[in-house]
Amino acid sequence: MNSIINGLSNNVVTLDLDNKYRDMVINNKNILNIFELGGSGSGKSFSFFKKSLDVDKYNKYFKRKDINYFIGEVSNVLKYKKTLVKDILTTTCDKVYIYSKNKNSLQVLEHIVKRYTKDYEIKKIDRDYILIISCKKVRSNFLINKLYYIKDMFTEFFDFISNILLK
């Protein structure tokens, strides 16, 4: 993970990184702008959002292919998986790095990433699993995105109902 963070440059968006990784990103001299989502800013970082991530504002601040790299922890990305994954993939022009301690949580996100691109891989670096997504050939369609959004809502609804019935 250290080599990945040291290779970042230009504009980077982070989503609730661990303190160790956050300090490494802030101290990287190649990064021009750091945007933190869901955290308080210090140093040369800047925080648009305090506690909650407003996905609509994410689209207003970052336009298509405006960000070079995105780095985040999988549990925070999965909270907003219905819309944030699409937004991250369409605004990032180079790579997206999402890390986790276990591989199963990344496989949930992998299912969503398959809709937009085939250029991704899961690597084990040190003790972390990292989902590396190349955003060069991301395809996105407004109508298909809406259909996936509706499908995800129904899936979550039926999962919620089944959990209630099982209890």
Q: What is the DSSP string of 139-154?
A: ---HHHHHHHHHHHHH
Query: Is 53 domain-assigned?
Result: yes
Taking only the tens place, the pLDDT of each residue in 66-115 is 778 888 888 877 777 777 777 788 778 888 898 888 888 888 888 888 88
DSSP 101: S
Closest CA to 25 of 69, 75, 90, 61: 69
Domain range enclosing 134: 2-138
Is 162 part of a structural domain of the chain? Answer: no
Instruction: Evaluate whether residue 147 is within a structural domain.
Output: no
* The model's pTM: 0.79
Identify the band that residue 46 occupies on the pLDDT scale cut at 50, 70 and 90. very low
The answer to whether residue 155 sits within a structural domain is no
Q: Is residue 115 part of a domain?
A: yes
138/63 Cα distance (integer angstroms)? 15
pLDDT per residue over 125-149, tens digit each? 888 888 888 888 888 788 888 898 8
CA distance 136 to 27: 27
Tens of pLDDT, residues 26-41: 888 888 878 777 644 4
Assigned domain for 84 exists: yes
> For the chain, how many structural domains are there in total?
1
Query: Do the domain assignments include residue 104?
Result: yes
> Is 36:73 a contact under the CB 8 Å cutoff?
no
Check if the beta carbon of residue 21 is closer than 8 Å to that of residue 45.
no
Indicate if the alpha-carbon torsion angle 39, 41, 45, 49 is positive or negative. positive
Residue 46 domain flag: yes
Task: CATH number of the domain at 119, please.
Answer: 3.40.50.150
* Per-residue pLDDT at 56: 52
